[in-house]
Amino acid sequence: MHIGVDSFVAAVTDPTTGEAVGPQQRMAHLLEEIALADQVGLYSFGIGEHHRPEYYDSAPAIILAAAAARTERIRLGSAVTVLSAADPVRVFQQFATLDLISGGRTDLVVGRGSFTEAFPLFGLELADYDSLFTEKLELLLQIRESEKVTWSGRHRPALTGQGVYPRPAQEQLPIWVGVGGSPESFARAGLLGLPLMVAIIGGEPRQFAPLIDLYRRAGAQAGHAPEKLQVGLHVFGYVGESTEAASDTIYPGWHEMFTKVSRERGFRQPTRAQFDATSGPDGAFFMGSPRTVAEKIRRISDQLGGVDRLSIQMTNPRLAHADLLRGIELLGTEVAPAVADA
């Protein structure tokens, strides 16, 4: 199993000084984080896409290109690109260019996103939520297959044989589908034979086993080889010197994040008891000492019938840069080897 990190590039208030970290400094910190992930042998680093004031990741391909110039081995990708609100031609061009800069180390994970700000920002209707993604994924895959494309749809002007350039360094740009909990999304990814990235943000990871089984069965029925049907997990978590230290370090920022989202969506306010339960052995958060996190990764992989990739999202508005660097170091030097040796 390959282990990596995802980031939403959250705006950060330093927990020690109480001072806000400016966006320019936050970007500098982020590039340090990616460089360290490369140095400690992590497999991948992903950047999300949001269009909200508390995140600085609205242009992930640009961030990843800067990271590509200062890394050597780590794979760089999106986590996820909001394809529904983007032009598939430009998405392909941006990530093919990134692939050239990185020397073939790019993965593109596409999805619909968990927030909706991109739709009004780019003049799109939320009523078209499903059809936008379906149509744009179809076009993106067609562009991947052929540099000259003939295509027509509802949401974008037709292509009549135009070429889409540049082409990537890799023979075929890897395109993963990011999904939440919709059975239709799992089945569609399987039918298309695309690798699957499952975002687990609550509940118990083992509850996704029937959906992942649906994905694999749909892929097999469509004639896709088992090795094409890869499964990845995007999860929230943090690795500390001990489980108690990890939880205490992450909790203040988690509470701030989820309090804001709960107010927006009309949910109950988050509590420490809820956080601790979700961080437990069967919960969605991968939180704790290196040994605790490694054991949980192995256990969840077994429950889901095998996982090919797992990325821990450590974004937190109250997490000091030094603590985040330490979490990345422990993930790379202790957790990843323990999982690989199992």
The pLDDT value given to residue 342: 67
Q: pLDDT-derived band of residue 114, with 50, 70 and 90 as boundaries?
A: confident
**CATH code at 211?**
3.20.20.30
The pLDDT value given to residue 44: 98
Chain mean pLDDT for the chain: 95
The pLDDT of residue 43 is above 70: yes
Q: Of the candidates 318, 176, 335, 149, which has an alpha carbon nearest to the alpha carbon of residue 240?
A: 335
The pLDDT of residue 97 is above 90: yes
The pLDDT of residue 109 is above 70: yes
d(CA 181, CA 192): 18
DSSP 218-244: HHHHTT--GGG--EEEEEEEEE-SSHH
Domains in the chain, number: 1
Q: Of the candidates 109, 155, 107, which has an alpha carbon nearest to the alpha carbon of residue 130?
A: 155
Q: 215 with 231: CB under 8 angstroms?
A: yes
Question: What are 245-261's pLDDT values in tens digits?
Answer: 999 999 999 999 888 88
d(CA 263, CA 249): 23
Q: For the chain, first and last CA: distance in Å?
A: 10
Q: Of the candidates 328, 311, 322, which has an alpha carbon nearest to the alpha carbon of residue 107?
A: 311
d(CA 154, CA 143): 17
Which residues constitute the domain of residue 272? 2-341
- Going by C-beta distance under 8 Å and a sequence separation of 6 or more, which residues neighbour residue 99? 105, 106, 168, 169, 170, 173
Longest Cα–Cα distance in the chain: 59
Mean pLDDT within 207-235: 97
Number of residues written out for the chain: 342
The pLDDT value given to residue 322: 96
- Going by C-beta distance under 8 Å and a sequence separation of 6 or more, which residues neighbour residue 220? 190, 226, 229
The pLDDT value given to residue 275: 92
Which DSSP symbol is given to 334?
I
Cα angle 96, 100, 102 (rounded to 5 degrees) comes to: 110
Question: What are 137-194's pLDDT values in tens digits?
Answer: 999 999 999 999 999 999 999 999 999 999 999 999 999 999 998 999 999 999 999 9
